[in-house]
Chain A
Amino acid sequence: MSETVYGPVTDWATDFDHGSPAYAANQHKIWDDLKNSGCPIAHTERYGGTWLPLTHEMVHSIAYDTDHFSSEGPVVGQLKPSEVPDRIGAPIGPVPPISSDPPFHNEARRLLLPAFSPKMIDPWRDEVIEICNKLIDDMGDADHIDAALQYSQHIPVMVIARMLGLPVEDGDRFRGWVNLVLSGIGEERTEERMQKFMEFNEYLAYHVNDHKENPREDLISFLLNAEIFGEKLSLEHAVGTVILLLIAGIDTTWSGIGSSLWHLATNSVDRRRLVENPDMIPTAVEEFLRAYAPVTMARVVKEDMEFHGVQMKKEDWVLLPFPAANRDDKQFANAHEVVIDREENRHAAFGLGIHRCLGSNLARLEMNVAVEVFLQRFPDFSVDANEMVTWSTGQVRGPRTLPFVVNARA
């Protein structure tokens, strides 16, 4: 067992906890303070030993270096990958291809790329527009709304459920499992958590069997028939990929939409510019992706090694904080300012290298449509000063409640 360290953080350079509410609330300041104090890579004994590199250069080089850093643990947990019972190890990992390493990774990813290519995703636009408008219709004429609970959290769930072939009305259950996997990383492996994991597995087993008996035109049926290296995917591989597509597609995009709306609720000049010039929205969305990138990934050190002057040990976790890379002033002019018409924007919100987010085209479509429709229907809105905006904890960051006052509707 890894030694698990609980309790509040005493020093962010040597004892950080990226799963703590304090990190979620103050991460931009924490990164700046660390870098300004001459610590571009922080360490903690928590989670059995974890590194946090903060510069674009370091994040870029780790993402590219699949020889020394494995993807078999994309989410840091209390157990190291090798300690998890019955786990599928490298190069496949439990949720391929995000948990896979080359050369297996290339084949597992190639299978999925066509379904998420721009030309397959663009035709979903009308459906996403309809989903967004329906969610706003359902708010009635209330002046006080929650743009996370009533809007952003529903959009990706509805789309990915349809793509996979799972019941759209099970959205609440999917979100419960997403929280279990991604937000509860600092929690102990209690019986209640284990029970929820079991329910998730049983739910997937039921629907996978149903697809076996009644094949249809969706991604689950596609995966059940797909081949790799001339053979059908193993059931573990197919189910692992379903889990990945369900989990990875939901709270990431929900966070991206939520952070964009939060920015517009708190920056009236930017909001007015986009209301008056909706053709600026795609460029603004790229800037929201840069400034509020939701996702931090993780790698596992393959063998003891030196990296930028620190000694990494075999099986140490290494976080890839793409949001910190996106705020590196060596890479971006005015990195700490949100510039909604930023022309040069090589942000890494969807990762770098061979694990570039498979769903990035879908996420961009959903973010663009969600912002466009929200501004069309609510040209003026602000944060409700009497309520709290709350942010998620863990490797995916975004607002989980967004209490807004609607000041004008169209």
Chain B
Amino acid sequence: MRVHVDPSKCQGHNRCYALAPELFDVDDYGNAFELNDGVVPAGLEDKARLALANCPEFAISIEE
């Protein structure tokens, strides 16, 4: 599984970083980006889905 944050949609709500800091980080402006080229380590799939389901801007996508 891979996750991706669309930087043109992210407005820095910081939900993904709060819910899944293993998968996302934020820059100095508070905008999110995926860690590890978006590769989701085994066992963290639910966290990736949780981040997607809580992004108010629909900026996160998942590739299964």
Residue contact B30 to A361, C-beta cutoff 8 Å: yes
Residue contact A114 to B28, C-beta cutoff 8 Å: yes
> What bracket does the count of chain A residues touching chain B fall in?
20 to 34
Provide the A325-353 mask, 1 if CB < 8 A to any CB of B, else 0.
00000000000000000011111101011
Residue contact A110 to B11, C-beta cutoff 8 Å: no
Residue contact A353 to B14, C-beta cutoff 8 Å: no
B17 within 8 A of A: yes
What residues on B are CB-neighbors of A343 within 8 Å?
50, 53
Residue contact A117 to B18, C-beta cutoff 8 Å: no
**Whole-angstrom CA separation of A192 from B26 in the bound complex:** 46
**Whole-angstrom CA separation of A282 from B21 in the bound complex:** 15
A113 within 8 A of B: yes
What residues on B are CB-neighbors of A354 within 8 Å?
11
Residue contact A346 to B30, C-beta cutoff 8 Å: no
What residues on B are CB-neighbors of A278 within 8 Å?
none
Rounded to whole Å, the gap between the CB of B60 and the closest CB of chain A is 10
Residue contact B56 to A347, C-beta cutoff 8 Å: yes
A360 within 8 A of B: yes
B61 within 8 A of A: no
Residue contact B26 to A118, C-beta cutoff 8 Å: yes
Among residues 104 to 158 in chain A, which have CB atoms less than 8 Å away from a CB atom of chain B? 110, 113-114, 116-119
Closest residue of chain B to A356, judged by CB? B11
A286 within 8 A of B: yes
Q: A117-B29, A118-B30, A361-B30 are in contact. Are A345 and B14 (CB under 8 A)?
A: no
For the complex of A and B, the 5 pairs showing the least CB-CB separation, nearest first, are A117-B30, A344-B53, A356-B11, A113-B29, A346-B56
Q: A350-B56, A360-B13 are in contact. List 4 more A-B contacts (CB 8 A).
A: A348-B56, A353-B11, A356-B57, A360-B12
